[in-house]
């Protein structure tokens, strides 16, 4: 019988509210596959009864399944419902949104893809002025529409119920009509070799269309996506110009990105660049912007 994986010993036990503890429990199961109640109780410095309640809640949500002495992660080809994903790691996603907003000046063009982390970016960008935003993420569109100084463009097509997203050829074509200053996208999962994963081909196709249609690619993902499995591959962690995440990367993944992708980690304040007072960046982006959007519209692509 193989030995039970141990929770990383360098992590010190810390008392957490149940909602935060659930997120960290899921992350640990994604790393180890199977864990015992005793190992989890020791890691979080709580009783096994408390951990058992947490495990029961996660099993009821079809995230874990019980096994003798512990539980294991359920690998699924289907994503969780949008509203459930929306509250998972919400604080971390909001911090990622704020960090991305600090990278983007006023008066530029932005493509925003599907997902709950790009939605948080849109919420953080709502105070920016004179943005031209192209998105198939209806929650992002509504967040940005609160500022009437911004122009928000959405595709036609069929709503992918129950997700607030429009996917398919029309949405992909809309992205490709533009050459935006920034493209912001999320991902279903990141495999251990850095491969980006999604839950269906339309999601992957949408991300590819967005990536091809911007000058600066920004991938946004919280720590729960690392090691998360999904069936469709599409791209690599080293593809974007900037990766914004909430936790430091493993040494293996960090080595893959060295010299190619700038990594912004929200838990490390010194890593967050702020362009809000960078006159050169402001002027370069503003000069490139206006004509990039209008040229695409005038060309009728």
Digit-coded pLDDT (tens) for 198-241: 988 999 999 999 999 999 999 999 988 888 888 899 999 999 99
pLDDT at 124: 97
Q: 246 near 95, Cβ under 8 Å?
A: yes
Checking if the pLDDT of 293 tops 90, the result is: no
Percent of the chain with pLDDT over 90: 55
Q: Where are the beta strands (DSSP E) in 250-299?
A: 262-265
- Which of 171, 172, 167, 251 is closest to 209 using CA atoms? 172
- Token pair of 189 as six digits: 């999962």
pLDDT at 192: 86
Which residue would you say has higher pLDDT here, 24 or 113? 113
Q: What is the mean pLDDT of the chain?
A: 82
The span from the CA of 65 to the CA of 196, in Å, is: 26
pLDDT at 87: 74
Checking if the pLDDT of 296 tops 90, the result is: no
Give the β-pairing of 214-220 and 242-245: parallel
pLDDT at 269: 67
- The answer to which of 71-80, 113-122, 167-176 has the lowest mean pLDDT is 71-80
pLDDT at 13: 44
pLDDT at 235: 94
Which residue would you say has higher pLDDT here, 160 or 243? 243
- The answer to which of 1-5, 72-76, 181-185, 250-254 has the lowest mean pLDDT is 1-5
pLDDT tens for 41-93 read 999 999 999 999 989 888 876 678 888 888 987 655 556 666 767 777 889 99
pLDDT at 279: 36
pLDDT at 240: 97
The span from the CA of 296 to the CA of 301, in Å, is: 6
pLDDT tens for 245-264 read 999 998 999 999 988 899 99
Checking if the pLDDT of 131 tops 90, the result is: yes
pLDDT at 28: 84
Compute CA distances 9 → 29, 44, 51, 170, whole Å: 15, 12, 18, 50
- Token pair of 107 as six digits: 């008066």
The span from the CA of 144 to the CA of 301, in Å, is: 25
Burial 98-134 (b: 16+ CB within 10 A, else e): bbbbbbbbbbbbbbbbbbbbbbbbbbbbbebeebbbb
Beta bridge partners of 66: 71
pTM: 0.69
Q: Does the bond joining 220 to the residue before it have cis omega, within 30 degrees of 0?
A: no
Query: Pseudo-torsion of CA 134, 237, 119, 182, nearest 10°?
Result: -30
> Edge-to-edge, what's the strand order for the sheet holding 34-36?
34-36, 70-73, 64-67
Q: 174 near 111, Cβ under 8 Å?
A: no
pLDDT at 64: 83
Indicate the SS3 state at residue 45. Answer: coil
pLDDT at 259: 86
């Amino acid at each position: 019988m193989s030995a039970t994986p141990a929770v990383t010993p360098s992590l010190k036990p810390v008392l957490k509210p149940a909602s935060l503890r659930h997120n960290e429990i899921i992350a640990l199961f994604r790393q180890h596959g199977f864990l015992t109640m005793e190992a989890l109780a020791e890691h979080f410095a709580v009783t096994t009864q408390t951990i058992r309640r947490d495990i029961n809640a996660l099993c009821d949500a079809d995230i874990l399944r019980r096994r003798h002495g512990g539980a294991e992660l359920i690998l699924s080809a289907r994503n969780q419902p949008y509203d459930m994903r929306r509250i998972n790691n919400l604080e971390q996603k909001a911090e990622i949104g704020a960090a991305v907003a600090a990278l983007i000046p006023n008066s530029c063009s932005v493509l925003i893809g599907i997902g709950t982390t790009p939605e948080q970016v849109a919420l953080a960008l709502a105070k920016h002025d004179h943005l031209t935003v192209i998105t198939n993420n209806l929650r992002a569109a509504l967040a940005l529409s609160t500022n009437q100084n911004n122009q928000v463009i959405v595709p036609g097509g069929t709503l992918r119920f129950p997700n607030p997203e429009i996917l398919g050829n029309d949405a992909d074509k809309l992205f490709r009509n533009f050459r935006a200053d920034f493209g912001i996208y999320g991902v279903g999962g990141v495999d251990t070799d850095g491969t980006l994963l999604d839950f269906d081909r339309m999601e992957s196709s949408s991300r590819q269309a967005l990536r091809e249609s911007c000058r600066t690619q920004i991938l946004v993902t919280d720590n729960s996506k690392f090691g998360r499995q999904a069936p469709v591959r599409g791209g690599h962690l080293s593809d974007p110009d900037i990766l914004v995440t909430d936790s430091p990367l493993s040494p293996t993944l960090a080595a893959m990105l060295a010299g190619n992708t700038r990594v912004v980690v929200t838990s490390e304040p010194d890593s967050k660049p702020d362009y809000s007072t960078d006159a050169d960046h402001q002027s370069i982006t503003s000069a490139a912007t206006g004509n990039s959007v209008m040229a695409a519209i005038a060309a009728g692509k």
